[in-house]
Amino acid sequence: MRVVVGGSSGFIGSALLPLLRESGHEVLTLVRRHPRMHDEISWDPDAGVLDPRALDGVDAVINLAGVNPGSRPLTAARKRLVLSSRLRSTRLIAERLADHPSGPRIWLQASGIGAYGSRGEDVLDESEPLGDTFFAHVVQQWEAATATAEAAGVRVVHLRTGIVLGPGGGALGRLLPILKVGLGGRLGSGQQFWPWISLLDEVRAMEHLLTADVRGPVNLVTEPRRNVEVVQALARAMHRPAAVPVPAFALKLALGDFSSEVLGSIRAVPKALDASGFVPAHPDLDEAARWVVTKG
C-alpha cells in the first residue's frame, strides 16, 4: 500500500515508519517545511495548507500529529495548544479526503485511551461512553473532527492508544531513568489500572488495521494491569528494586493536570482489536518489560 504518515518524527511515528517499509508499504511523510526528500510532502495544519494532489495514488493516511501533553505543564494556554494542534491537523486531513473521491479511503487517526476518564474497576471496551475529564473532552472533539471524511465513505479508525511501553520515550520517558538507578516505585496508591501495550505491538497493530475490516474506535492496548504491577515488571527486568513510591501529592505538584493521566484508573480492554484477529507479539507484561529493557 501507499501510505502517508503525519507526525512521523515522534516516539510512535519513528517506530512505525521502518515497520511499514519492512512490511513492503511505500511510505510518504508529511513535514512542516519544504520537502528535502522525494518521499516527503509539505503541509501546514495551522494555515490549512495541504496540496490535494499530494494524495493522488495514496491508499491510506495515518495521522499521529499533535502536541505532547506531558512534555510541559498543562497551563490554560498549553491546554488550548494540545487541543488545537489535534483539531487543525485532523480537520485538514478530513477536508482533503472528503474532497478527493479518488484519494485515500483508509484513515488511521490517533486518539487516546484517556477518552474514558478515570473509571476505577470498570472494564472498558470501545462501546463505553466517554468521560468528563480534560483529556476525554479532547478525544471527543478530536474524533468528531473526522466526520466529514467518514460521511464521504472513508474508513476511519480512531486509535485510542494506551500506555506505550518502549525505550527512550512515551509514557515511560521520565520513569525508566529513575527505575534504572533503583529509585523508582509505584505512583500514588499503585492500584490504578494502566492499559499498556508495547511499542512494537502499537505499530504492528496500526499496520494490521490498514487492511483489517475495522472502523471507529479501537483500544490500542494489550491488557490493563495495575500501576504497581507495571512498575515492578520493569524493575525486575532491570534487576532493580521498586521500593520508593511516589506519593500522589508529589505527582500533582510536578505534573499538574497531567497527573490525572498517571493516577487515573482506566481498565480498558482491546475488544475490537482482538475481534479483528490481531495477535500481540508481547501478550505478557514481563515479556514486554524485558523487551523494553533489552531495546533500551
> Domain containing 123 — which CATH number?
3.40.50.720
Tell me if 239 is assigned to some domain. Answer: no
Going by pLDDT thresholds of 50, 70 and 90, the confidence category of residue 172 is confident
Tell me if 34 is assigned to some domain. Answer: yes
DSSP for 26-41, written as a single string: EEEEEESS---STTEE
pTM: 0.95
Tell me if 18 is assigned to some domain. Answer: yes
Q: Strand 60-63 and strand 123-124: pairing?
A: unpaired
Tell me if 253 is assigned to some domain. Answer: no
Query: Could you tell me the end-to-end alpha-carbon distance of the chain, in angstroms, rounded to an integer?
Result: 31
pLDDT tens string 21-48:
999 999 999 999 999 999 999 999 999 9
DSSP for 251-294, written as a single string: HHHHHGGGHHHHHS--EE--HHHHHTT---S--SHHHHHHHHHH
Tell me if 203 is assigned to some domain. Answer: yes
Tell me if 75 is assigned to some domain. Answer: yes
Average pLDDT in the 212-223 region?
Answer: 97
As for how many domains the chain has, the answer is: 1
Supply the pLDDT for residue 69: 85
Tell me if 110 is assigned to some domain. Answer: yes
Domain hosting 271: range is: 2-168+197-222+267-281
Going by pLDDT thresholds of 50, 70 and 90, the confidence category of residue 121 is very high
| Helices and strands in the chain, H and E counts | 11, 13
Tell me if 118 is assigned to some domain. Answer: yes
